[in-house]
Amino acid sequence: VSAPTRQTALHPDHVQAVLLKPAAIEHAFAGRASTPRRELRAKEKLVCRVTFVPASKVHILISFATHKTVKKTVISLWFLHSHRHFVMQFGGRLASRLIAAERIFAGSYHRFGALSRLGHPSQGRQPFHTEIPSPRRLLQKAVSVGALQQVTGSIKSVYQPSTSRNLRVELVDGQRYEFPLVWLRDNCQCSECFHAGSYSRVHDWERFDPESVAIRECVVADNGNLVDITWHDGHRSQFNAAWLEDRNFTKQNSEQYLEEWYRPKPRLWKKHEFGEVLKSFEFEDVITKDETLQAWIEALIRYGVVMIRNAPLTEQECRKLANRVGFIRKTHYGEEFIVKSKEGTTNVAYLSTPLQMHTDLPYYDYKPGCNLLHCLVQSLSTGGQNLIADAFAVADHMRQEHPEDFRLLSETLVNWTDIGVDEGGEFHSIYRAPVICLDREGKLERINHSVPQRDSFFNVPLERVEPWYRAMARFVRILHQEAVEFKTMPGDILTFSNIRMVHGRTGYTDTEINTRHIVGAYLDWDEIYSRLRVLKGKKSN
């Protein structure tokens, strides 16, 4: 380029920008009949940007724009220490782009030579290389070593700023991500560090020193599909572009992963929305079709309650359903349990009198997560109605409208207890937890509520007792206001979250020819979430 007007500025990350005016562009493309001058004048400047990256690698992004399109040519230079020369790699399919790139590069050649003396930040400003061949010799060398090829992968460049402990990865679509060096080294995928068959990290953490992790060399390999790192100790790691992109540290990606693969967010509902949120599925479809099984699980997670219809009228169907997901959760009441009116029982659920709204087994540290209640015989009396309410929605209402009551119910430890004898023999269970349990982020995690199982031992400061009772009375009152009432029919399996829903039953009357008969069982949420991930994984593969 004949004497172009240039402005230069050294950016913090050692990026040099060379701005060329339209006259320089016209000169660079002189003789190209396919590029009308009116298009070249459509933009005020051409930007030639030289960026230093690790492993003695320089990317030069040369962009020239018209009013119709923006074309880009990428030139990558690798300093090969063993051969003491550069190899140039061009991205772009058209030979004309190579010619244009050579012409523009020739115009900025002396500027690039000056930049080379700056050195890479990690090298203490030592010379980046000793000499630069002419642009045409670079082209000839590239062709001779087979380096002239189309970049087809998604990684454009990698770079570690001098003041950072992160590796910056730029994709061809413009996305930029940062990955901590210590995380990359810890997650090396080579066979010495990772056992692929068990998806397990196996490198020796007793010898792992986060402070000493450093990169000796880093390049983009396999046509942009791999980041190839040589660490300070000579160990080598390769990371697939898709693998890195899936695990990028952006907030959006983290939220998407947690929603998709960890625990999808629940959709809280009120009484008037029950008809909309209650989904139902055919028992046979859940047992035989993976897509129906997944739909049932997703509805159970989202809404907390789902109905399964037309199950056979035997006592084994809850087990079949549980085995479809994982396995039954056994408690001191056994695996399956029979809910019938029994004289001399130690459990109020086995009475025909009204059963207050509650969650099951609040006296378990890790209580069963999901209830399965299979109706074999329903009472013909006017009673026996199921009651259910979304206690998460009520707790959220308390947080918004009655924050002090919410604080008392979420901070005050309550003693939950159960004493008796059943299939598992004699038992005496005690667990201390608030009525409203929150996770580390303040999100609703578990509801504990059972009037019969709330112990008379209340180990709290004296002045907190009466305020807690007032808060609890408000909570129970709203639960009953939000409770829906319906009656399951023979063949129905009512499935619901035992950590979110509260449930109960109106009183009923048995007769000699009509005895209400329900079979119950439990599932753990760990198994439910696990099965959902397996089903999603099959689809993604």
Q: Tell me, what CATH number does 194's domain have?
A: 3.30.2020.30
Among candidate residues 226, 90, 219, the one with its CA nearest the CA of residue 153: 226
The answer, yes or no, to whether residue 61 has pLDDT greater than 70, is no
338 and 234 assigned to the same domain? no
The pLDDT of residue 346: 55
pLDDT at 351: 72
For residue 70, is it within any domain? no
- Do 321 and 232 share a structural domain? no
Question: pLDDT higher for 139 or 272?
Answer: 272
Spatial distance between the Cα atoms of 501 and 358, rounded to a whole number of angstroms: 8
Domain count across the chain: 2
CATH number at residue 344: 3.60.130.10
Compute the distance between CA of residue 145 and CA of residue 321 in angstroms, rounded to an integer. Answer: 63
220 and 304 housed in the same domain: no
421 CB-near residues (< 8 Å, 6+ apart): 346, 427
532 and 395 belong to one structural domain: yes
Q: 304 and 206 share a domain?
A: no
Q: What is the per-residue pLDDT across 411-462, written as a single tens digit (0 to 9) for each?
A: 999 999 999 998 889 999 999 999 999 999 999 999 999 999 999 999 999 9
What mean pLDDT value characterizes the chain?
78
Report the distance separating Cα 402 and Cα 391, nearest Å.
Answer: 15
**CB-based contact 241:227 (threshold 8 Å):** yes
Asked if 373 and 483 sit in the same domain, the reply is: yes
Has residue 50 been placed in a domain?
Answer: no
Q: Take residue 116 and report the two structure tokens written for it.
A: 């080379």
> Which structural domain, as residue segments, surrounds residue 317?
271-540
pLDDT band at 505 (very low <50, low <70, confident <90, very high): very high
User: How confident is the model over 87-143, as pLDDT tens digits?
Assistant: 333 333 333 333 333 333 333 333 333 222 223 333 333 322 223 334 444 333 332
Q: Which of 252, 279, 303 is the last residue of a domain?
A: 252
Q: Is residue 23 part of a domain?
A: no
Q: Is residue 456 part of a domain?
A: yes
pLDDT in tens, 181-216: 999 999 999 999 999 999 999 999 999 999 999 999
Within-domain flag for 389: yes
Q: Which of 222, 252, 282 is the last residue of a domain?
A: 252
* 145 or 298, greater pLDDT: 298
- Shared domain for 278 and 200, answered yes or no, is no
- Copy the structure tokens of residue 1: 């380029």
> Are residues 156 and 61 in contact, defined by beta-carbon separation less than 8 angstroms?
no
Question: What is the pLDDT, as a whole number, of residue 340?
Answer: 80
Q: Is the pLDDT of residue 83 over 70?
A: no
137-158 pLDDT per residue, tens: 433 333 222 232 334 569 999 9
Judge whether 506 and 383 are in contact, CB under 8 Å.
yes
The number of C-alpha atoms within 13 Å of 374 and in the hemisphere containing its C-beta is 23
pLDDT above 60 (res 50): no
* Single-letter amino acid code for the residue at 168: R
How far apart CA 74 and CA 394 sit, in angstroms, is 58
Q: Are residues 245 and 296 in the same domain?
A: no
Are the C-beta atoms of residues 258 and 533 closer than 8 Å to each other?
no
β-pairing, 8-10 vs 15-20, is antiparallel
Rounded to whole angstroms, the Cα distance separating 541 from 531 reads: 15
Residues 324 and 397 in one domain: yes
Tell which wins on pLDDT, 363 or 511.
363
Name the band, by pLDDT with cuts 50, 70 and 90, for residue 339.
confident
User: Is 516 inside a domain boundary?
Assistant: yes
The fraction of the chain above a pLDDT of 70, given in percent, is 70
